[in-house]
Structure 1
């Protein structure tokens, strides 16, 4: 398991294979629908095999533990960034109805400027890792962690909740003491708590499952309601991917709307996409590429995403810079979630990476008070701050 954490393909190839396995178990699939699963599984297998021999690895935990960000220029900029996000979370909850308390079905309503506020508050997932890594005071650290976990629940944003849980747990795993066993208790608690809240939010957000008419397997039908939600979320993407591949449906508008800002809506619900269940409308990260460019485009998107993941891993070496770590947390998360919904090839994702790169440049411009050198004839005690 420790070696798997250092393999980049663990965050892309293995989740795709897992989602394909869940899809195969959740549905009674026809032979035609198996083509889509085989395409995804074969691409993921190639990535895993290549990754084993490629030699690109995430740094060892000792490198992560050697970095102390609190009190540095990096932490100053990161905490200012976190404060801005927390402020927009407060605005989101103050100026607009809170879906969890007001009307759970209104979680997707973005009216009156809320969509602009949400562009910032959606980055709430970075608050727990920034609090864990950068906050010296316990109250500030705990406040950032609580906001990062609580805000997605209040606005019924399961994706952001998963991002918060994932990034927080991954930081714990990467900064563990190698002399001790893996922190399974902490990570297991986060996984169980996150999955439980996810299932409850799914019930509040989408209603009962009885009206969904898909070829579910006997195993799925016998599962408890909470497990059904997890299975449905984990398998819907590959299932719809396979369905659209089988139906040879073509429509480039969704990909264009996704990659061109303000071009149009990226919502797949209520469109003419021939989904087997209109309310289950996710289709993996590569779904828009499949509709626009066919199977070749979808496979190409998988390998481009793998290239982005390798780039983010390389940026961690040799000293694990803070903003490179945040980029890796984001890229690894969208890779893990790639079997479920498009998040990588979006302007919001590119914008976050651009922000981190910009903040890294800003940090380099700030004076570094930790680097001091003697001045004068060397006999005095005066010192100058290096800039």
Structure 2
């Protein structure tokens, strides 16, 4: 494997437990890049200090996919990215990921770490029995592709495959905001709304159609038509595309907003851009968050009534970017939950942020407490991803 323009520095630590991750700049056929990254983490228990076990995590996503070496304590030891190649045959689509995985193997060997397996999360659905992606909208060539079999044959290590929202829930349950809860509901808002449920140590794959399909919970009979064909689905009100349309409508009405100048300067619309303007008090940004908070609270309140979780974790790029949205949802959901269930529900933001999925994919590979049990319906089909 050819590695060019590589500069790597060793880890350094300070009293605040901040690790300066190896500084690296890689250029491999313009498909694989490593960036400088600072990771704040908890210092591992002394008795586990000699444990050199790690797992390789791959989180497939839109423009670029994230990879990492994760240790048994849920700490990311090294992080890199690989470009996602659209419209290619299966093997060509996987090539950047395989190069990145081999780089991580080499890095682990240089550091004296032992790789125990590979965890992969996908933005789609999967068949649990065959361990194959069922649908990956952004990479249709991988639909029904024997991904686990290929990776296990290539690297002679166990491979675990997850839907992205399930992987994020596993990470939060073991290392983040979900520790200690027996019934845990995780809601994520990225491109669409996604959901996963954890009950008594098991990742639930309920036969109820609403699990993993919260993006199609109806909240308004007169709402816009959804991609599923129905009207008024929550996804039509709070998806990233819906949020962008709210901003565009405000601009067409001539409402005064600093978003106009930033977008006219060809800045890319993102949850972070909207959050920055909300912090500055922009009226349109605050109005958008109020509307999104209202509709998302309506949908998630129904979900709470159906599954009665002890804790609700909110994650995803849209929710993580905005304290305003989280605050409005937290108060609304807490108030509603107190009237619909017997015990109070804790509503919190995801602690692991965008790393939750990466960390979660490695849980079955590194946990000492036994294999993770998964409850599945007869169809053995997983929930729908949060990025479709």
Query: Which TM-score applies when normalising by structure 1?
Result: 0.26
The structure with the largest helix share of the pair is 1
Higher strand residue share: 2
Between 1 and 2, higher relative CO (CA 8 Å, sep ≥ 6) is seen in: 1
